[in-house]
Chains A and B, each alone.
Chain A
Amino acid sequence: MDSTPEKINTENKTQEACVPVCGEIIRAEKWKDEEFRKIRLAFFNILEDTEEARKGAVKEKNKTLAIINNLTDGILVLDETNKIEMASPLAEIFLRQGKEKLIGRNIFRITSADFDLTPLWNALKGDKKAKIKRLLRKEITFGNKLSLEISSVPLEEGVEGKETVVILHDVSRDKLVEAMKTEFVSIAAHQLRTPLSAIKWTIRMILDGDIGKITDEQKELLEKTYESNERMISLINDLLNVTRIEEGRFLYKLEPMQMEDVVETIAKNSADLLKMKKINFKFEKPKELFPKVSIDKEKVGLAIQNLLENAIKYTPENGTINISLDKDADNIIFKIKDSGVGIPQDQQSRIFTKFFRGSNVIRLETDGSGLGLYTTKNIVEAHRGKIWFESEEGSGTAFYFTVPILKKRLTNSN
């Protein structure tokens, strides 16, 4: 285009007569050309930008898809009418169904090639209009084959009833491992306890005179053997408890309980032992009825028992042990205070460590697994509580732990 003026020049033989008019035309042409050039450039720039944006969007989309396709969870995206817009490859595998039978279909009408999907629908179903409800972690099992943890959330945060993402998380392996561990502990308990119960029963029956008369000397020896065996049983029980804690499934059944009742049961069980050591024991019951706590009562009982047994073991004859309960806004606080040997200052940081025993108590009482406080701490923490102590060697120890007050009660009282 820039060569146009020259072209005009060569075509016009009377160049001079033409100058004023042609000059105008040439200027106008030049101006137009310049404008065209600019427009074209702008247009190309826009095209280029659009192309780049498109490429960027495709790249982002591929990136997101790659992430979704490689997630270890299955993902389903549903539109507002519950039709499946997108299904990740893992979702197809979990539901045992190809994309063609999932995409565009209502989630409540899809089928699986392998099993009934009713549990999935029941988990997802919201109100009567069959809207998907917001769901966080509900575990469902299809036959014996597959256990999924299902979550569903609105695609746009806070906008319910529009697009929804359903996340399917496979927990089949966890379930299997859990079942295997239960079996292992069951068999270990059986194998370890059986010979001990045989010893226990035999000695007990001889001591009870079921087999015939025995001399006082025989009786005394057998009683000591019986006690040794009891210690072994208690050690095995401690070990089994630790195994269960480490499996992370130590808490079994949470139920609303009065801490006062749990303490009372444990204190009653230890009455003989307290009497034998002539310990001045007192459980100061709270003056008012405290709110309930949600606990596994066997386990909290075990925690209290461990603390009480330690207190009895390490408090000299005629000493004192006091248990009391207190509360703050969120917790029930358990306290047990003894006038025992105390915990040496330099060892206080290790007191809750597995198998740890204080140097002063090893000298005093050689038995003990060093698992009691470790177990107790784990039980308390599994209940979202805290445990701590104050102790001075030679004058005594006070252990404290908290258990959160049942939330419902808390709301009511507020």
Chain B
Amino acid sequence: MKVLLIEDDKLLRDLLAKKLINNGYVVETAADGEDGMKAMRLNTPNLVLLDIIMPRKSGFEVMKEMRADEMLKDIPIIIVSNSGQPVELDKAKEMGVIDWIIKTEFNPQEVLQKVKKIEQELFKN
């Protein structure tokens, strides 16, 4: 399964990428929303892990762009962010986001569990 990880903090990006690669996932990374959009247009992922507050293009802008694109609109998205006010969560839910993970509340192992769960659902047929 191909996972695209869009995260502007290099350390967090490297840690989570390592965790996923160690567990057999194909991981591509992008340092902001703009690069993330480019990456997913070149190589369609099965799942996007998306940060919200990022330079150049925010997570919300990425979601909006993905939902408006025929090729990308059905790709599942998990938000991995440190913001997470109820109003933001509701907005994301409306845009069809599967889950919202607050980074300080979860560790990479728990993020991995969520990815595994989605993988099972995606490939159960």
Binding site for B on A (CB under 8 A): 182, 185-187, 189-190, 193-194, 196-198, 200-202, 204-205, 208, 210, 233, 236-237, 252-253, 298
B43 within 8 A of A: no
Contact with A along B76-98 (1 / 0, CB 8 A): 00000111111110000000000
Measured CA separation A124–B99 after assembly (Å): 40
Contact across chains for B18 and A210 when beta carbons are under 8 A apart = yes
8 Å CB contact of B19 from A186, A193, A210, A237: A210
Measured CA separation A200–B107 after assembly (Å): 7
The 10 lowest CB-CB distance pairs between A and B, nearest first, are: A197-B103, A193-B82, A204-B107, A252-B86, A186-B83, A233-B104, A193-B104, A201-B15, A197-B104, A190-B82
**B15 closest partner in A (C-beta):** A201
| Interface size in chain B (residues, C-beta < 8 A) | 25
Measured CA separation A206–B93 after assembly (Å): 33
Residues on the A chain within 8 Å of B81, using CB: 190
8 Å CB contact of A205 from B84, B85, B87, B108: B108
Contact across chains for B104 and A253 when beta carbons are under 8 A apart = no
Kindly provide the distance from the CB of B115 to the nearest chain A CB, expressed in whole angstroms: 15
Q: Which of B53, B82, B87 has the most CB of A within 10 A?
A: B82
Contact across chains for A205 and B104 when beta carbons are under 8 A apart = no
Contact across chains for B9 and A189 when beta carbons are under 8 A apart = no
Can you report 26 A-B residue pairs in the complex whose CB atoms are below 8 A from each other?
A185-B85, A186-B85, A189-B84, A190-B52, A190-B53, A193-B104, A194-B9, A197-B82, A197-B104, A198-B15, A201-B12, A201-B15, A201-B103, A201-B107, A204-B107, A204-B109, A205-B15, A205-B107, A208-B109, A210-B19, A233-B104, A233-B105, A237-B104, A252-B87, A253-B86, A298-B86
Residues on the B chain within 8 Å of A208, using CB: 108-109
Q: Do most interface residues of chain A lie in helix, strand or loop, or is the interface mixed?
A: helix
Kindly provide the distance from the CB of A232 to the nearest chain B CB, expressed in whole angstroms: 9
Measured CA separation A200–B85 after assembly (Å): 21
B16 within 8 A of A: yes
Q: Which of B46-103 contact A (CB under 8 A)?
A: 52-53, 81-88, 102-103
Measured CA separation A131–B74 after assembly (Å): 48
Measured CA separation A210–B107 after assembly (Å): 12
Known: A187-B53, A190-B81, A237-B104. 18 other contacts (CB 8 A): A182-B85, A185-B85, A189-B85, A193-B82, A194-B82, A196-B104, A197-B12, A197-B82, A197-B104, A201-B15, A201-B16, A204-B108, A204-B109, A205-B107, A210-B18, A233-B104, A236-B104, A298-B86
Contact across chains for B11 and A202 when beta carbons are under 8 A apart = yes
Measured CA separation A196–B11 after assembly (Å): 12
> Known: A194-B9, A201-B16. Is A210-B22 also a contact (CB below 8 A)?
yes
